[in-house]
Amino acid sequence: MKKIAIIGSSCADEKMIGIAAEVGTEIAKQCLILIIGEYSGVMEASARGAKSCGGTVIGIMRGEKEESAAYIDIQIPTGIGRLRSDILINSSDGVIAIGGSAGTLKEMAYAYKIGKPIAVIKGSGGWADKLSDSYLDEKKTVKIVGAKTAKEAVDALIEQIK
């Protein structure tokens, strides 16, 4: 089964929370696995959305022990804090960014560097908006696809993963 990583703002506003829940729902509807690397903001909302449709959620966690996380089916405690982002990206088949600040940029840059497909939700703010429909450098490794809806973002990733 293909795994889609959701990255984005941990301090998300209501708009981002709504978008993230829609993305999680769409991932579950398309029988994909949602994988997240933190349990707050956009990531928690996407997990809640996926679980509302019976989806499977994997959490690549910062700490050494499992945490209380109602919407995560499988927790992988890494004990490596923020370094767990590389595991998150490596474990995914594609990445969707919603909003985001410096941490999201780091994850997008790593995904880009290793050639993972990336989609962003246009209008969600942060790095998602700044990098929509662009490349990170002259190598043009992966075009960061801007999507207007959750379905459009998931469909774009599925097409690229094939």
pLDDT score of 26 more than 90: yes
Q: Where are the domains of the chain?
A: 3-161
Q: Rounded distance, CA 162 to CA 41, Å?
A: 30
Tens digit of pLDDT for each residue in 108-138?
999 999 999 999 999 999 999 999 999 999 9
For residues 69 and 57, the answer to whether their CB atoms sit within 8 Å is: no
Confidence of residue 158 (pLDDT cuts 50, 70, 90): very high
Instruction: Report domain 3-161's class.
Output: alpha beta
- At 141, which amino acid appears? T
